[in-house]
Amino acid sequence: MSASESAAEPPPEQHGTPGPTPPPERDATPGPDPAADPSAPSPARGGPVTADRIMEIGMGFWPAKALLSAVELGLYPALSEGPRTAAELRDRIGLHPRAARDFLDALVALGLLARDGDGEDGRYANTPETARFLVPGSPGYLGGFLAMANARLYGFWGRLTDGLRTGRPQNEIRDRDTPAFDARHADPVRLRMFLQAMTGLTRSLLPALGEKFPWDRYKSVADIGSGEGSLLGHLVTVFPHLTGVGFDLPPVGGPFEEFTAAARISDRVRFVPGDFLRDSLPPADVLVFGHILHDWDRDTKLKLLAKAHDALPEGGAVIVYESLVDDARRTNAFGLLMSLNMLVETPGGFDFTAADCRRWLTETGFRSTSATPLYGPEGMVVGIK
C-alpha cells in the first residue's frame, strides 16, 4: 500500500510499491479508539500512567531487525527439517558464538522460535506461525516480502525525518530525478525479488477477494499491475468460468509466464505488456488495481480510474484494494503508516480512505460504489459503470 505532487515529477514504481506486511489476524474494520475505551487506564479515571507503550514503540526496531535478520540468515528454512541446537544452528547459518544464544533466545522470547530444553542441550524449532509464513514453499510464505523489507525499506525508513521535512522520497531516487522502477526492471534479480515480495504480500488477501465480490456475474478480469499473476491464478482456479489478463511492464512477462505455467493456468490467463500511465487499459468485465493507486498523486489516481471507466463495458466493475485508512483517520494505524511509506518511496503517492476512493470513482463516471473490509487492515472499494 502525503500530499499530491506535480505530474511533472518522475513516476515511482509501476507495480505497486510495497510496505510493511499486514498483521495476519487484524480485523479490517477499524477498531475503537483506545482513548475512548472505558476499560483503558487513564489519568482521568485514576488508572496508572506508564511509559511502557512509548518504550515498546520507540524501541520497536529491536524486535523488527531481529526478525528481519533471522529471515536474511535463513534461520527458518534451516529448521524446516527438524529442531536443532544452538551449536548446530551456528554452523548451519553462520552465527558467531558470542551472538548465537542471545539471538536465538530473544526470538524465543518474542514468540518467533520454540525451544525444548535449556542450556547447550536446548533444541530450537519453528513455531506454527514461522513454519507457515517463513519457510519457502509453505502456503502462506511471506519471507520474500520480509527479505525485501530488510534489504530496502528498513534503511529507507531511517531517513523518515528527512522525508517529513522535505516531502521527498528517501529511497533509490532520493538524490536523482529518475524513476526508481527503471533501475529495478533493468536488473532481473531485483525485479524478481520485488515480484516475489508482492506475491507474498497479496497471498493473504486472495480468499477474501474471492469471497466478497460476485465473480459469478462476470466472465473476464484484468489485473492492472499484475506482477507474477497470483491474483489471477487464485480467481481462475476458484471460478473456472473466468478468464484473466495480466497487464504490466514488458520485463514482467517472463516471471508472469513462469508463475502461471507452474500453476497450470496458462490456458486461462494471458499477459499483455503495457504501461498503464501511457497506454489504454485492456478491456475486461472487471479491472483490478491492487496496491497500485497509493503509489500516485491525486491527479494520476483520477487518470487511472478514468482509464478504467473507458475500458469497462456497461455494468463492468473496477476493484481497488489497499490498506484503506479509516474515514476518521484515527484507528487504522497500519494504513496511515503505509501512507508514510509512500512518502518514503514515491514522489507523490499517498494512501486514502474508502470515502476518498468512492468520491474519486463518482468523479470519474462510475454510477455506484461500495466499500468492503477484506483481511487485516486491507479493504476494497468497488465501482460499477
Give the DSSP H or E segment for 221: strand 220-224
Distance of CA 331 to the CA centre of its chain: 19
Give the separation between CA 24 and CA 375, rounded to whole angstroms.
8
Task: Confirm whether 234 is a catalytic residue.
Answer: no
Catalytic residue among 15, 185, 294, 309: 294
Give the separation between CA 86 and CA 100, rounded to whole angstroms.
7
Cell numbers 484503506 correspond to 324
Give the separation between CA 253 and CA 259, rounded to whole angstroms.
10
Buried b (16+ CB within 10 A) or exposed e, 235-274: bbeeeeebbbbbbbbebbeebbbebbeebebeebbbbeeb
Q: Which of 369, 343, 367 is nearest to 356 (CA)?
A: 369
Give the separation between CA 146 and CA 195, rounded to whole angstroms.
13
Amino acid symbol at 378: E
Please give the grid coordinates belonging to residue 83: 529442531
Q: What count of Cα atoms within 13 Å lies in the side-chain half-sphere of residue 190?
A: 12
Give the DSSP H or E segment for 298: helix 298-311
Computed from CA positions of residues 24, 30, 33, 38, in that sequence, does the dihedral angle turn out positive or negative?
A: negative
To the nearest 10°, report the CA torsion of 295, 298, 299, 300. Answer: 20
Give the separation between CA 99 and CA 321, rounded to whole angstroms.
42
Please give the grid coordinates belonging to residue 169: 522520497
To the nearest 10°, report the CA torsion of 209, 211, 216, 218. Answer: -10
Hey, which residues are catalytic here? 294
